[in-house]
Structure 1
Amino acid sequence: MSNIKISVIIPVYNCEEYIGTTLKSVINQNFKDYEIIVIDDGSTDNSLEIIKLTLKGCGIKYKIIHQKNAGVSVARNQGILASEGEFLVFVDGDDYILENHLSELYVEGYDFTLTQFAKKHDDRLSNYNNFDFESILTDEFIKKELNMEILFNFFQLAYKADIIKGNNIFFTPGVVYGEDIEFALKALIHGDRIHVSNEVTYYYIQRYDSAIRTTEYRRFDVVEIFENLSTYYRIHGKNKQADLIIYSRIPRAIFGNMNYFFYSCYGFEEVMYVMKKKNLFSKLARFRGNLKFKIKVQLFLLNPKLYYKMWFRFKNSID
């Protein structure tokens, strides 16, 4: 039987500028009994050479998997299949973690554990987050996420490996935006409770070369991801959560991404064309919940052009 407590899964594609720092942060943990699994997704730069050089002689069990370029989802899935740990932890190849990341995440008696993250650009940090609970039922956590009451990213969690593998939960290949939250929200319904730490132990590095224009309007693909997740929830008897997706999470995602495009200086007519083509107006109109947000949605649906002019004038925050 394996005595590995945590498998750290790191997908890499052309990260030669960052992967050395990432791996050193994973190696320098104040935690024992973990393995490092790096999946090189067909990098064309020096990433693979840096990975081999950095891990050689590190004293920690590691695996390097090289595959033809197939995308981050396939890379992460390969890491899951190769893992031997009790828990799975994901770190992206251009981010890094603090030395207590794994020790904060390994808490016995829980199906999932969570720490906080901060966005980092140059020397600036943002998006510190604190939860007012030390543990929470997974159903309650899902409800908060679907109502967008909490800021959450999939890499904050450690996942019980038996839950992931026992329920055949994998990242959806070919999806550019939303595959990570889909993975997390699928996994969470199969567990009972999450342990929560308010320690910031993960640094998400913001790179302007990965800005929204590189994926254009594929941010709206998250709607299909959530629709598929709703179906998954109904199959597993989670009808209330499925309804929250349809009547709360999807409308919020549409409205938030629409405002993001406005903020990123996409033209009004262009955004409206894409939304009509994707049939997003009718899905937005299904919103049920918070009155303030509902009024915003109704004002937009009554007169999109007027809403845009008012938004542009006051530079409203993205909801």
Structure 2
Amino acid sequence: MSFVEYDASSWTGRDDGEGAEHRRWHRQVTHTMSAGRAVGGVSVVGFASDEGVRRNGGRQGAAEGPQALRSALAPLALHVDVPLRDAGTVVVDGEDLEFGHEALGELIARELDADARFVVVLGGGHETAYGSYLGRIRSAGLQGAHVGVLNLDAHFDLRAADRPTSGTPFLQMAEADAAAGRRFDYTVVGIAEPSNTPVLFDTADRLGVRHVLDTDAQPGHLAGVLHLVDELVARVDAVHLSIDLDVLPAAVAPGVSAPAAYGVPVEVLEAVCRRVAESGRLRVLDIVELCPRLDIDGRTAKTAARLVTTCVHASPARA
């Protein structure tokens, strides 16, 4: 079973004084139990799950990710006046990942329909992304919308399996979209060729997936990467951005289930995040695969928090 947990203890940090010039995440964020909707703002939702990683044979610990990510976000400066609300964490208790997905979907849909600018989902393994998908397809405000998925990841996560894992979320989306008559529009930046079997490349080709290899997602090729992102943004009504932290080089992101031998530099990922957020079409951002017990000096969590804050700063206010 799963349940929603509310814990504000991570929202602490340096306090330099009153006023907008001293604004930080921990001072701006409100708690769902003590405040109403973050109308026009950003909602934060956690998904404490290791089950998908366990099923996929990876290193566990991602269930500790949501609180570690909150702690990394808490002291960061905010340069925009945007309402922030922590809507709690869906905790997957035991092995019932499927029930957890349902609970996460309901929570995300609620936040989207409460007029959040976008929802930040703190994972959890990459199975988190399917719960994010359920939330956006259940949102009344996104009914009939063409939603594009942009995944920053070393892996396609298009595995075929007899039950959901951290390696299956995008194939689950493709199959659910096909059954419902929706268009599956999926782009991946950062694919590590040695980490994806030929059958995964074949599956991606069959589904019309656009992708960029990690070797081509480097600063010298940034213009081409951003062109691909611009094409995605131009053809969709909304974007679901999914960031698997194993897309980063292992030296930057050691605290993940599968550290990258090559990886995509932070400057490329930040430019992509900024471009998507500036479009005003970002509606769901999930950031996944943080394993705090394997992190070194909080490197992975701090980098993740930087990317989330970039999206918050770059996202325009909704009319």
Fold agreement, TM-score > 0.5? no
Q: For CA contacts below 8 A with separation 6 or more, give which structure has more relative contact order.
A: 2
Structure (1 or 2) with the larger CA radius of gyration:
1
State the TM-score, normalizing by the size of structure 1: 0.30
* Greater percentage in helix: 1
